[in-house]
Structure 1
Amino acid sequence: MTVIADLDIARLDFWERPAAERAEAFAWLRRQERPVFFSQPKVPLARSGRGFYAAVRHTDVVEASRNAAVFANSPAVTNPEPPKWVKHIYGDSLENMDAPEHTRLRRIVSRAFAPRMMQRLEGLMQRRAETAVAELAKAGPGDFVELVAQTFTTHVVCDLLGIPEEHREKVLGWVRDTVEYQAVRSDPKGMLRHAVRNTRATFGLRNLVIGLGKERRREPGDDVISALANADVNGERLTGTELGAFFLLLVVAGIDTPGHTLSHAVTLLSEHPEQRELLLSDYDAHISGAVDEIVRYASPITQLQRTVVAEHELRGQPLVPGDKVVMFYNSANRDEQVFTDPDVFDITRGPNPHVSFGGPGAHYCLGAHLAKRELTVLLRELYTRLPGLRLAAPPVPMVSTFNNAVRRLPVTF
């Protein structure tokens, strides 16, 4: 098969192939006795590596997620890794840390998702959904990504954090720039242009929250920035740099990933009208299963990396300290050994042990509950107000080695 003959999932051009070809390639990789090794291509403005082993089976991903004694998040979970100087300028992200530092910071920042915070957000989220869908209805057919997904998730995260309205357009622009940079380009000039915009956006986001953190220490409010800026857990507090780094992670992950997931939801429910009818026949009974199936089927985050820190054997493959293992969530979520008819979109699927929120273990996504509520609230409002919503043209994907992103989604109703 041609798709297998020149198979190289480390290269950007592999991710430009049709989805069916990529799925076939990962199915072939899952059938191999051991994880396959891929050499690391040179990418502008990234740290070069010697390559990685592809964890493509569900069991591979679960083991690498749970076994922190062997598979470390440090120095970075993205592949390719950013240069070392990035951490010195922006601070280190929670997702790139291991215990005990990860334990300490997670204990503090988990306050952002405490029940009280989520309860406070619920009413605001409903109003944001109503406004976003009303704007779409007023605008008429258009791009769902721009008109609904990005604006809705931006406002939800900004409401949670306590970012004033006057800053939100800037926040959305900065997030868009960081997302564009995540779509790794093979063109050095394009990479440089995106890197400059990404740097400007990252500094803007970081400086905004550090400034707001200082204000909220003097005059706390009922929001996450106030809670984190004044948090004192066993005498431990977040520094300004730590607050800024967490904000970068939360803003991009809380706006970008749920936004793309909403676009995938609309796509899947349009392409599978029988599943949409089933969902709408009893929304409360089916929405939880629908959300899980959407994130399994779409796998919004494609991959994350782990660094081996102790000798180990992964499905017969010997690993030594320094080796890299990349977990492919899109492949694990289609593993035939775990999911019956994995290529079928079925909102009644159960059990559904997908790994779309980072798999089990200490690094399970803190914002998983928030993301699920965003989908639940927005989809209810969307199909209540616009039951005839459907695709006007195929989605326009963003070619990326990191996430399954949607650049544009033309819809009509």
Structure 2
Amino acid sequence: MTNKATVDFDQHGPEYAQNWQEQLAEMRAKCPVAWTDAHEGFWVITKYEDIVHIERNPDIFSCDNDIEGVRGGGRGIRIPRNPFRFSLNESDPPEHTALRKLEAPYFTMDALQKWMELARELVDEQIDSIIEKGEGDLIHDITIPVPARVTLRLVGVPQEQWQDFMASSLNAYLPPNHPDYPLEQRMRIAERLEGLMDERKSNPTDDVISTLMHAQINGESLPRATAKGMLLSLLFGGFDTTAATAANALHWLEKHPEMHQRLIEDDKFLEKAVDEFLRYFPPVMGGLSRNVTRDTELRGQKLKKGDRVLLMFNSGNYDEERFECPADIRLDRANARQNLAFGAGPHRCLGSVLGMAEVGIMIRAVLKRLPDYRIDHERARKVPSMGLANSWLAMPFSFTPGKRLKP
């Protein structure tokens, strides 16, 4: 009988935040399927092939967050678990398939043209707000506001409220059971969302809230709680990962001015570069979990029904068997698009194409309009925990003042 491979691992802990690359590389090499006792215990999955296998088999590895305890007791996609169910992300086929179809029309290539154009307008607007001053903060002035405002417009939140909604995501890198987790802010936003749902029920417009409030599945109206869970997932997960990738890319590009002009001029090179940035700077750092629905085996380890597995997408992005010299940034890497930044299988992020486009739009705008930007590295601050996103709290920067595009 195979002994259970056990490791000392906590994705929310300080050691992981400081040494995640080394820690995950050692696990990939020595114990790619390993048990940790942290947070009531779970399996840590670190190899690309295993992560994709689990993602493609939701009948064995469930996403369900069974808050009420009526569907088998699944504990969702976060460890520790989310205090409320994110309906789309925390459901399995066929429920997940039906729910995904409701949001899919907002992410077709035709529909995306509108959101990409909005992102271009907003990044210029955000740069206009600081360009005459010659200084700002890449996080608070550009990389968070642009994807946040696009997402909130898509969902149906009034533009004048975007900062309140955005603020409820800024401490979300903490685990849900942490005393500083923004639970009160999120509950307040959830209450405000309830009002918007009532409003769209009576007066629908061209947004996701309206679609879900009038949606039917198998001839029955979508339950209100399900609609709310889908909307909260979009609001709280729709922009922080995009913002993190853009911020990390711009942080790296400050030291590589030789790349700037080609990224401005060459669309194909920019697309490849974004793929590589998503691989090298994985936005989801704390992994996403699945619930084992029946006894199974993976690399000789016995996974029992009721166990939880944590898929370390960032580890898959550094798997030497998938990516040659993964510790190097190669902006023209041939297979960079195989990265796991947006997951795999039926739960691959519905907004992945929009997210990739937004990262490229922000990179190009900054390089073009603020070409000599300089980051204040002494004042720049990363999040203290990598338990969720690979993000920054602040990244002050300066540049030669310029002119606004709009008066």
Q: Determine if the TM-score, normalized by the shorter chain, exceeds 0.5.
A: yes
Contiguous gaps of at least 5 residues in structure 2: 1-5, 65-73, 400-407
The residue number in structure 2 matching 1:46 is: none
Q: Please tell me whether residue 113 in structure 1 is matched to residue 99 in structure 2.
A: no
Contiguous gaps of at least 5 residues in structure 1: 42-48
Q: Please tell me whether residue 300 in structure 1 is matched to residue 283 in structure 2.
A: yes
Q: Distance in 1 between matches of 2:256 and 2:135?
A: 20
Q: Please tell me whether residue 57 in structure 1 is matched to residue 42 in structure 2.
A: no
User: Which of the numbers 216, 237, 243 marks the counterpart of 2:227?
Assistant: 243
The residue number in structure 2 matching 1:354 is: 339
The residue number in structure 1 matching 2:166 is: 172
- Deviation at residue 169 of structure 1 after TM alignment: 2.5
SS at match of 1:175: coil
Q: Please tell me whether residue 183 in structure 1 is matched to residue 174 in structure 2.
A: yes
Contact preservation (8 Å) 2:34, 2:44: yes
Distance 1:391 1:77, change over 3 A: same
Distance 1:34 1:264, change over 3 A: closer
Deviation string 1:300-345 (CA, Å, 9 cap, x unpaired) is 1011111111222212212121122111111110111111110111
The residue number in structure 2 matching 1:13 is: 14
Q: Please tell me whether residue 148 in structure 1 is matched to residue 142 in structure 2.
A: yes
Amino acid at match of 2:120: Q
User: Which of the numbers 383, 386, 403 marks the counterpart of 1:400?
Assistant: 386
The residue number in structure 2 matching 1:77 is: 77
Q: Distance in 2 between matches of 1:61 and 1:298?
A: 18
Q: Distance in 1 between matches of 2:391 and 2:192?
A: 26
User: Which of the numbers 117, 120, 124 marks the counterpart of 1:123?
Assistant: 117
Q: Please tell me whether residue 387 in structure 1 is matched to residue 371 in structure 2.
A: yes
Distance 1:11 1:129, change over 3 A: closer
Contact preservation (8 Å) 1:56, 1:329: yes
Distance 1:369 1:181, change over 3 A: closer
Distance 1:351 1:34, change over 3 A: closer
The residue number in structure 2 matching 1:283 is: 266
Under a length normalisation based on structure 1, what TM-score does the superposition of the two structures give? 0.85
- Deviation at residue 155 of structure 1 after TM alignment: 1.4
Amino acid at match of 1:407: L
Deviation string 1:119-157 (CA, Å, 9 cap, x unpaired) is 332332221111012223134223211111222122111
Deviation string 1:207-264 (CA, Å, 9 cap, x unpaired) is 2233222222322222222222223354243333222211211112112111112111
Q: Distance in 1 between matches of 2:324 and 2:213?
A: 46
Distance 1:209 1:384, change over 3 A: same
Contact preservation (8 Å) 1:184, 1:400: no
Aligned residues: 380
Q: Distance in 2 between matches of 1:290 and 1:365?
A: 20
Distance 1:323 1:147, change over 3 A: same
Q: Distance in 2 between matches of 1:62 and 1:167?
A: 38
- Deviation at residue 371 of structure 1 after TM alignment: 0.6
Contact preservation (8 Å) 2:295, 2:302: yes
Contact preservation (8 Å) 1:71, 1:306: yes
Q: Distance in 2 between matches of 1:117 and 1:239?
A: 26
State the identity %. 27
CA-atom RMSD, angstroms?
A: 2.3
- Deviation at residue 285 of structure 1 after TM alignment: 2.3
Q: Please tell me whether residue 231 in structure 1 is matched to residue 222 in structure 2.
A: no
Deviation string 1:260-315 (CA, Å, 9 cap, x unpaired) is 121112112123334445423x3312111111111111101011111111222212
Amino acid at match of 2:25: A
User: Which of the numbers 13, 21, 24 marks the counterpart of 2:22?
Assistant: 24
Q: Please tell me whether residue 313 in structure 1 is matched to residue 297 in structure 2.
A: yes
The residue number in structure 1 matching 2:152 is: 158
Under a length normalisation based on structure 2, what TM-score does the superposition of the two structures give? 0.86
Q: Distance in 2 between matches of 1:264 and 1:318?
A: 38
- Deviation at residue 31 of structure 1 after TM alignment: 0.8
Q: Distance in 1 between matches of 2:110 and 2:209?
A: 14
